[in-house]
Amino acid sequence: MTRVLVADDNKGFCTMIETYIQRDDTLELVAVVHDGTKVMEAIHEHLPDVLLLDLVMPNRDGLEVMEDLVHSDGYRPKVIIMSAFGQDELVTRATELGVNYYLMKPFSLPTLIKRIHQVAALGSSAASGGQQLQQQMYERISHYFGRIGVPPHYKGYRYLTEAVLLVSTDNNWLNGVTKRLYPEVGRRFSTSAGQVERAIRHALEMTWEKGNLAELERLFPFSVDPKKGKPTNSTFIAKMADIVAMDVQGLSSWAQGRRLGQ
C-alpha cells in the first residue's frame, strides 16, 4: 500500500484527487493540507510514501517546503510537484531540491495516479540509503509503540518518535536531553522544548496507565523509576533507541546475507 499526502490549497481539486486515489486499492490517502506551514507536521505525523505538492500555497510555497525537507534530518517522502508554472528556473530549482517528478497543470487524474505508482516504485540508490535506513527506524518505532500502547493521537507520540529516531542514529543526543534533544524536536514541530518535555511525559503516563503492561514489563524490566512507577523520559527514549538500533542492524545484516547468498 502506497501512502499519499496531498498539499494543495485548491480544495475542490483535492477532493477530485481523493476520489481517484480511493478507486485504487494499492493507494491510501493519509492526509490533505491546504497551508504550506502544515506540510512538514503532516509528513512527520503520517509518514507518506509520496507527497503531492503544489508550488503555490498560503504562507509557505512548495519550494520552501522542499527546502525544509532538505534541511530536515527526519523522514522524507518521494515528491511530485504539481504546478501551473513551468519556467525553467522553477523546474531547475525543484530538481536541485530533490523533487522526483514535476507534473504540469492541467493534467488528467489517471496520469497523476500513474506517476504516483512510478515514483513510489523508484529503486534505491546510494543517495537514498540514509533515507531508507531512517524509514526502517520509523517503522520499527511505530511497531514497538503500537505493541506497548503509546497513544498515537497524543502529540507526545510524534515527539517521542522523533526523539527516539535522533538518539537511534546518534547517541550523543542523550548527553543533552533538556538542552539539545528537546529543543531540536521542538524546532521540527514548531513548538518549545518545554512543550515537548511535557507532551512526552503525559504520553508515557497514559502508556503506563492504559497500555500493554505485559509488553512494558518485558521491554523495561529494570528501567522503572520506583517513585513514579514508569521510566523517566530520557530512560524511555534511550531504551527504545537501543532496541530500534539493534533491530535495524539485525535487519540490515539479514538483508546483506541474502544478497551474498548466505
Q: Where are the alpha helices (DSSP H) in the chain?
A: 11-22, 39-46, 62-71, 88-96, 109-120, 129-148, 155-169, 182-188, 193-210, 213-219, 233-259
Residue 130 corresponds to which cell in the numbers above?
A: 540514509
Q: Where are the domains of the chain?
A: 2-122, 129-258
Beta strands 27-33 and 78-83 are unpaired
**Domain 2-122 matches domain 129-258 at the CATH topology level:** no
Residue 126 has a pLDDT of 36
Helix (H) or strand (E) holding 103: strand 101-104
Cell of 163: 526523539
φ, ψ for residue 189, nearest 5 deg: -115, 15
Whether residue 106 has a cis bond before it, omega within 30° of 0: yes
The CATH architecture assigned to 2-122 reads 3-Layer(aba) Sandwich (3.40)
**CA separation for the pair 4, 25 (Å, rounded):** 13
Which has the closest alpha carbon to 61: 76, 92, 82?
82
In this predicted structure, what is the pLDDT of residue 181? Answer: 94
Query: Which pLDDT belongs to residue 262?
Result: 37
**Element at 121 (helix H, strand E):** none
Residue-wise pLDDT for 161-203, tens only, equals: 999 988 888 888 888 899 999 999 998 888 899 999 999 999 9
pTM equals: 0.52
CATH class of the domain defined by 129-258: mainly alpha
pLDDT in tens, 92-149: 788 778 888 888 888 889 989 988 998 887 654 433 455 566 667 877 888 889 889 9
